Structure formats: C-alpha cells, structure tokens
Amino acid sequence: MKTTAEIRQAFLDFFAAREHRVVKSSSLVPGNDPTLLFTNAGMVQFKDVFLGSEKRAYTRATSAQRCVRAGGKHNDLENVGYTARHHTFFEMLGNFSFGDYFKKEAIEFAWDFLTNSCGLPAERLWVTVYEEDDEAASIWLDEIGVDPNRFTRIGDKPGKRYDSDNFWAMGDTGPCGPCTEIFYDHGPDVPGGPPGSPDEDGDRYIEIWNLVFMQFDRAADGTMSPLPAPCVDTGMGLERLAAILQGGHSNYDIDLFQHLIKAAGRVTATDDLAVPSLKVIADHIRACAFLIVDGVLPSNEGRGYVLRRIIRRAIRHGYKLGCKDLFFSRMVAPLVEVMGEAYPELSDKQAYVTEVLEREETRFGETLDQGMKLLEAAIVELSDRRIPGEVAFKLYDTYGFPIDLTRDIARERELNVDEEGFERAMGEQRERARAAGSFGAKDGLPAELIAELKPTEFLGYSETGVDSAEVLA
C-alpha cells in the first residue's frame, strides 16, 4: 500500500517524466494577490503566468500545493467534521500548461495517471464537462471512450452566466474557464447520487480531479477578456486520492490522518478514536500550523482572525472531549512527523508554531469554560430552538467566542443562532464605542490581552513563497 507521501511523489514523478517542471508549493499567504485571503488552489502562484504578465523558463509545471479553504470564495470550514472529503487545509496535486498543451493532452494525462499509474478501474470513474464544451465532450467520448452512462454535462446555475461547477474561478476576478471533472464512485454502500443529480452532495461520488481550461480573465465588473494563450490548470486533492488508493472511503482513513487522529486521542486522553471531534482536531492542526509557518498570527482581523477562529474551534473540541490541559499545541510534533519531510519549513519552525498555539490556547482557556457555562445555562432556558442574539453577543464580546464557534456548537445540538439579534447587539456595541471615541474590545478579549497581542507578523514570502517559487527538480 502506498503512503500519502509516496502518492504525492508518484504524481510529481509522472508529470516530471512528461516534461513538467516540479515547482515547490508556495506560501498559503498569496504573495501577488491582495484579492485573495489564502492560497486556495495550485494555480495561485501561477496566476500572473496565465495572465501573461509573468514569464517562466518553462511552459509545463507540476506541484503539490498546500491550500486553505476557510474563507473567501472557497470556504469549507463548515464542511469539516460533516463530510468525508473536505478539509480546511489540504494538498492539491496539479499539472499546468502555460500556452503549451490544451484539452486533449490534459485529459489524456489525467486518464493515463488514474487508470494506468494508479490502476483505478474505468467503471468506477465518472466524468463531467461544462455543458457547452463540445470539444472536451468529444475527447472523452470519442477518443478516450468513457461510458456515456458515466458522463454528464453540467451547465450554468439558473440565471447566472459562467457560474457552474464546471466553470472554475479562483475568486470573483482573475483567470477562469470551463472545466472537466473526474469523480470516483465509492459504491452503493455510501449514500449520494452522481454529479448533477439532486443528491450529488453525498459522499458516494467523490470529485477527485478538476481540469480547468483557463481561457478568460474576469474583471471586477464581470467582463471576460480572453487570456493571451489558452492554458491548463488542474487540481486533485491528495487526501481524496490517497483514500481511494488505500482502499478506504473517508479521507480520515488515510495513513496521514490516522497518525494525527491517534495523536489527538493521546493528547486529549480519548480512547474512542471514532469520535468526530478527533477528526476536526486532526484537520485543524494542519491549517493552523501551516498558516503560522506562513507568517499568520492569531489576531482580530483579516487572515489572523480566520486563524484564531480555527484554533478556537479546535480548542473547543478538546473541551468537548473533557480535556482540561493544553493539548492543541501538542499536536504540532505529530504533524511534523508526518509532514515535516515534504515541508521542511514546518520542521524548521516547529518550536515557534508550538509556542504561538500554546499562547492562544492559554488565552482562550481562560474564558472558554465560563463561556460554555453561560451557553449551557442559556440552552436549558430556551423556549424555541434558537440561541438568543444577546447570548451569542456576550459570548463573543466577553468570552472570545467568534460567532462561527457559537454557530458550530448550536449546529451540533440542532439549534440555531438568532443572527439578526447578534448583529443588532454588535451594531449597538459599535455605536457605544463610537460615542465613547474608542474602538472597543474587538473579539471579546479583555483590553490588556488585546494590547498583548502582536500584530500579524510578516515573515516574508522569500522563504516559502511565490517570489522564490523554488524549483526542486
């Protein structure tokens, strides 16, 4: 059985053997793009190459890119713990053509890799194309010979032009184009329907690989201008592929996650390794550690606030497991064990990452218990299934519970949060702060703690980032 690390390498080797330059993963903080919160795909570091404003010494590239989808256009934070396939942090395997090959070769490479190198049976795969893309349809059906019964054309969402699962865009602006996607059928034991069907959101047919035919640059006003040359950008989730190749169904079954889940069980003193909270902790440590490696620090705004929210969600899961000690920062060492070799920057900063997490954990630990008690007491009193806005606000303002954390707890108990009431309380707070001429406590942290927080420290792109896009092979 191949390990996740070996699968990552096999992918890069496959494309290196087909004249692709192996390019190192860039930072999670996009160096060339203020429009983007985090690197959410392999193409991000190549954006300017697609746009034609940057030239590289090669026209074919391949990478395993660390990605975070926890904010902005691609946000999977709410899926973690609920699906078998979504992470906040994951690795995207990709191959890229900058005005070199186009649809035909891209499709052939992907099919060859999956069916020959990985040995996946064709009858387990399902293909989708953008509804209007006759060229891609014909390559799949006439040249590759996929079964028309395992093939779907997917169009735009009603009333929206170029808004489709088969029209990929990095964000609201930038390079975009029609795409074709390959799904794996985990079999009838898993609930869920094929792509394009009403129950496609189940975990039976799992999307593994997206091949994007980059053709346009979308401007802020929605205008689409053609790129200087048609390009290819593909992305495949490493963890999803590993799940299939290791004979499992859930991403959490793979060697890498099993290692982290065992570690999470150990540090929280939890014997039952099947409890969902351990999965969430295993997921969140990757996002948090790599964001810190890439120069983000927990704070009350922007990227730092996203990091803080993920850390606090993880800590609350430990609390839910009855863990009273610091545990989250103790997940860094096990993470280094499974990912340090592929990402030396993680090993290099192990002590620093541990310290940052420990600090945040200590800080939130001071208010978490009291906040939870307040929430539990409020829940007992509920007359409907809705947590009052004032309670959510108090949790936010006094106990440092980001609103999504309260929402997360509510969802677990099949409750919801009075969002309007929360917004109203927030508005009143802002008014009071304005009247008093101060900005107030932003995240419900006592003022002295806020003063203690360092601003997001920028560690530079050069170490891991776009500027250096260091070539490995």
Give the angle 427-432-433 at the CA atoms, nearest 5°.
Answer: 95
Report in angstroms the alpha-carbon separations of 371 from 58, 281, 325. Answer: 55, 20, 17
Minimum distance, C-beta of residue 246 to Mg ion, in the bound complex (Å): 22
Tell the smallest beta-carbon distance from residue 151 to ligand ATP (Å). 17
φ and ψ at residue 426, rounded to 5 degrees = -60, -45
List the single partner that 235 binds among Mg ion, ligand ATP, none, CB under 5 to 8 Å by kind: ligand ATP
Residue 99 or 196 with smaller CB distance to Mg ion: 196
Instruction: Report if residue 240 touches ligand ATP, rule: CB under 6 A.
Output: yes
Which residues have CB under 8 Å from 203's CB, separation 6+?
A: 83, 84, 85, 186, 190, 191, 192, 249, 250
Q: Name residue 89's amino acid.
A: F
**Closest CB to Mg ion: residue number:** 210
Number of amino acids touching Mg ion (CB under 5 A): 3
Tell which positions 291-330 bind ligand ATP, by CB under 6 A: none
Q: Which of residues 348-377 bind Mg ion (CB under 5 A)?
A: none
Contact positions with ligand ATP (CB under 6 A) in 17-76: 69, 76
Q: Tell me the closest approach of the beta carbon of residue 231 to ligand ATP, in angstroms.
A: 16
In this chain, which residue has its C-beta nearest to ligand ATP?
237
Residue 240 or 303 with smaller CB distance to ligand ATP: 240
Residue 199: partners with Cβ closer than 8 Å, 6 or more residues away: 191, 192, 193
Q: Does 180 bind Mg ion (CB under 5 A)?
A: no
**Residues binding ligand ATP: what is the number (CB under 6 A)?**
16
Print the SS3 string covering 230-257. Answer: EEEEEEEEHHHHHHHHCCCCCHHHCHHH
Using the rule CB under 6 A, which residue among 8, 60, 86, 317 binds ligand ATP?
A: 86
Cα 219 to Cα 133: distance, rounded to the nearest angstrom: 22
Which of residues 237 and 334 has its CB atom nearest to ligand ATP in the complex? 237
Span between the terminal Cα atoms of the chain, in Å: 26
Q: Which is nearer to Mg ion, 207 or 397 (CB)?
A: 207
Helix (H), strand (E) counts: the chain: 15, 11
Residue 237 binding target from ligand ATP, Mg ion, none, CB below 5 to 8 Å by type: ligand ATP
Kindly give, in sequence order, each residue whose CB lies less than 8 Å from that of residue 221, ignoring residues fewer than 6 positions away: none
Asked if residue 77 lies in contact with residue 71, where contact means CB atoms within 8 angstroms, the answer is yes
Nearest distance, CB of residue 100 and ligand ATP, angstroms: 21
Q: How far is the CB of 290 from ligand ATP (least distance, A)?
A: 14
Question: Stretches 7-15, 231-239, 254-262, 441-449: which one binds ligand ATP (CB under 6 A)?
Answer: 231-239
Residue 235 engages ligand ATP in binding (rule: CB under 6 A) = yes
Q: Check residue 83 and report its DSSP letter.
A: B
Which among 318, 306, 307, 308 is positioned nearest to 263, based on CA atoms? 318
Nearer to ligand ATP, 209 or 364 (CB): 209
State the minimum distance, in angstroms, from the CB of residue 378 to Mg ion: 33
| Site map 195..214 versus ligand ATP, x via CB under 6 A | ------------xxxx----
Q: Which is nearer to ligand ATP, 133 or 361 (CB)?
A: 133
Instruction: Give the other-Cβ count within 10 Å of 4's Cβ.
Output: 24
Whole-angstrom Cα distance, residue 109 to residue 18?
A: 9
210 interacts with Mg ion by CB under 5 A: yes
Tell me how far apart the alpha carbons of residues 162 and 168 are, in angstroms, rounded to a whole number: 9
- The listed partner (Mg ion, ligand ATP, none) that binds 239, CB under 5 to 8 Å by sort, is ligand ATP
Counting contacts by CB under 6 A, is residue 90 touching ligand ATP? yes
Binding residue (CB under 6 A) for ligand ATP from 33, 217, 233, 239? 239
Say which residue the tokens 């053997």 belong to: 17
Q: What is the x/- site pattern for ligand ATP, positions 94-123, by CB under 6 A?
A: ------------------------------
How many Cα atoms sit within 13 Å of 165 on the Cβ side?
Answer: 16
- CA-based nearest residue to 241, from 370, 119, 352: 119
Q: What residue ranges bind Mg ion (CB under 5 A)?
A: 165, 207, 210
Question: Which parts of this chain interact with ligand ATP (CB under 6 A)?
Answer: 69, 76, 85-87, 90, 92, 207-210, 235-237, 239-240
